[in-house]
Copies of this chain bind each other. A is one copy, B any other.
Amino acid sequence: MIRIGIVGFGVVGQGFVELLISKKNEVSKMIGDFKVEFIADSKSSISGDFELDEALKLKKMTGRLKDDKKPQELVEDAEYDVLIECSVTKLEGGDALRYIKTALKKGSHVVTSNKGPLVAEFEELMKIAEKNDVKLMYEATVGAAIPVIRVAKGYLKTFTIKSVYGILNGTCNYILSRMEEEGLDFNQVLSEAVELGIAETDASYDIEGIDAAIKLVILANTVGIRAKFDEVYRKGISYITPEAFRIANEKDYTIRLVAEASKDKLSVAPRLVKKSHPLSIKGTMNVVVFKTEEAGELYLAGRGAGKYETASAMISDMVHIYAPSS
């Protein structure tokens, strides 16, 4: 019986539990029986004997779970084999960093969608996992369901990766593609994006390239390039004008926020991109390109965010821990 603990019960956490319910039979066939021992959000929790449906209903109707026990307490004291960590990303790691370390040191696997702890202490976390002979899985942190981490760490481990680059922020890509297509002004598209829920009211995290830089740091470390957030050269998209698109368009180019990591380069900045190039992808999509010595460039693309997009990556990560083969 695999015992699961869940910390973070917002959009992603709820998506994970919903998928766990709908995929119960398939997942059990792959990894054997499992049981969720506890679910905690930042202020409340549920543990012991409870139904997953009940927890979802409670959260949706009351905004909280039934007990006052805090996540740290459960992460420390409960018994579980794998911790599903989906609390909100904080650049310096936040409480989640402590949850993850506690779980790994107890000998539990961790599956996280939280970029903060990884960008803060990538190397240290990997060492703790290795030392305790457990896995720290984080597919959901970059490109939601696009299997960039799995491909980088698994399939490509026999390849020489010269660099990795791509479109890592869907909000910026949405804004830039609408500016390209409709000749609109940056601020106009941004305010529409906020209305549509594609951008946050404080959009600086996205439009200044912070989110893309965080993901780049995770990707870089994944392919063996030691990188820290402060080392990323970073330029946002707010100064880009409709004129810039017009000039680019004359030569069949467009403008995209491109993140790139290689041995000599760590950068997030707007770049001219040929309209026929896969990086010229439109809307909220993400693309990751691995430049390999053996096989040229390999492209992976898909939606960059979303409830089930992110949660389904975590389900796959969890199953992979127990059934890595094929």
Chain A interface residues toward B at CB < 8 A? 19, 23, 26-27, 30, 135, 144-147, 150-151, 153-159, 276, 278, 280-282, 292, 294-303, 306, 308-309, 311-313, 315-316, 319-320, 324-326
Contacts and interface: CB of A to CB of B under 8 A. Distances in A.
Output the residue of A19, A135, A312, A319 with the most chain B CB within 10 A.
A312
Contacts of A145: 159, 292, 294-295, 298
A125 to B, nearest CB: 15
Contact of A30 (B157, B280, B303): B157
Given A151-B151, A324-B325, A312 B23 contact: no
A298 B302 contact: yes
Contacts of A324: 324-326
Nearest to A145: B295
A119 B298 CA distance: 25
Contact of A295 (B153, B296, B302): B302
How many copies of this kind of chain does the complex include? 2
Contacts of A153: 326
Given A278-B301, A299-B299, A301-B278, A155 B294 contact: no
Contact of A276 (B282, B292, B299): B282
B23 A158 contact: yes
A326 B19 contact: no
B316 A159 contact: yes
21 contacts: A26-B158, A30-B157, A30-B158, A135-B326, A145-B159, A145-B294, A150-B155, A154-B320, A157-B316, A159-B312, A278-B278, A278-B281, A292-B312, A297-B302, A298-B301, A298-B302, A299-B299, A299-B301, A299-B302, A300-B300, A324-B326
